[in-house]
Homo-oligomer: A and B are copies of this chain.
Amino acid sequence: MILHAPASRLQFLDTGELQLESGRVLERVTLAYETYGTLAPDGSNAVLIQHALTANSHVAAHDDADEAGWWGPMVGPGAAIDTDRYFVVCANMLGGCGGTTGPASASPGDGLPYGSRFPGVTLRDGVTLEARLADHLGIAAWHTVIGGSMGGARALEWAIMHPERVERLVVLAAPAYSNADQIAWAHTQLIAIESDPEYCGGDYLALGRSPENGLGLARRIAHLTYRHGSELDTRFGRARQRTSRPGERPEYYQVDSYLDHQARKLVNRFDAGSYAVLTRALRDHDVTRGRGGLQEALGRIQAGVTLIAIDTDRLYPPAQLEEIDRALPSPPGVHTIRSLRGHDGFLMEHDQLAAILAATVFA
């Protein structure tokens, strides 16, 4: 099950067996990825872009006829991440539904979707898999590993797990660990999905069921943490939705309609089991696990570090980037993007982002 990953340029690496951090083993793991630009003969120009919770490897269009990517204005010839100069790689996270092995994939044993049999994975498991892709592509060290939100957390793990393979690290709107607030928001979303009777304990695909209500509700909750209250109020206020659709009551507000639209969009492009697996992976994100304290964990990093916060981010507030900064051996400071968009500013404030990247990693 590959959802909305344009198949034309999607590439697959069969990586064989993967031993997970938990000790469990996944057989025959496939990693889906896309590349943009050309790798320099000395392999020095490779940039790894890490996607967020529900995105995929399609970070940008490959040509004019191609579908837009989730960070389109940031990546391309002459763009902030310039594919005329850099070889850009974006891989779908382990457990996702954009081509990489996940709960909706066929299990090697019986060919049925993994469903409830798919094991819990961690962001570190994702990095382990992606290191195989770097080997495959002949990339000894990434010029830059960059990501926002879950992608930022994964980028951070890359620089800690493989310090010698990451020359520059950009962490955007992401923490060193998910704190109690973020664990709690994840909890509400997991309950929304898993208490939908259509979820069937995770085996809905094999049973021909579809937990759309649960996934849609999880997305609505998540989306509210992605945006900022005053942005929503500026855009929608108390305006009612004016439609003539039957059954629509007068108290249906425009912001309700907006949230319902966000929910429908996700339900149409994303797998509920992947959402649960990745939500747990992000919830369990903690660079200190098994590494002592925060300074010890972050002290492993050899990359030059760029930290970027969004001032209105109510999911990962700037204080969490400042915490990373303070714990680094040479605190680089935190760049702040000013945005009305809240956390989602990392997907939208391209100009500010481009300026920061031009002044730091791509200087």
Contact = CB atoms under 8 A, between A and B. Distances in A.
A80 B181 CA distance: 33
B232 A181 contact: yes
A177 interface: yes
Nearest to A220: B188
Contacts of A4: none
B284 A184 contact: no
A28 to B, nearest CB: 26
Given A178-B238, A238-B178, A188 B255 contact: no
B224 A188 contact: yes
Interface in A225-252: 229-230, 232-233, 235-238, 251
A256 to B, nearest CB: 5
A183 interface: yes
B191 A233 contact: no
Question: Which of the four size classes fits the interface of chain A?
Answer: 35 or more
- State how many copies of this chain the complex holds: 2
A272 B277 CA distance: 30
Contacts of A317: 229
A179 B237 contact: yes
Which applies to chain A's interface (DSSP): helix, strand, loop or mixed? helix
A197 B196 CA distance: 9
Given A178-B238, A238-B180, A255-B180, A187 B220 contact: yes
A259 interface: yes
Interface string A295-315: 000000000000000000010
A19 to B, nearest CB: 19
Contacts of A180: 229, 232-233, 235-238, 253-255
A221 interface: yes
Which 9 pairs show the lowest CB-CB distances between chains A and B?
A: A181-B229, A180-B236, A180-B232, A179-B233, A180-B255, A180-B233, A195-B213, A187-B256, A184-B255
22 contacts: A177-B238, A179-B229, A179-B237, A179-B238, A180-B237, A180-B238, A180-B254, A180-B255, A181-B224, A181-B230, A181-B233, A181-B255, A183-B256, A184-B232, A184-B256, A184-B259, A187-B256, A191-B213, A191-B220, A192-B217, A221-B221, A251-B280
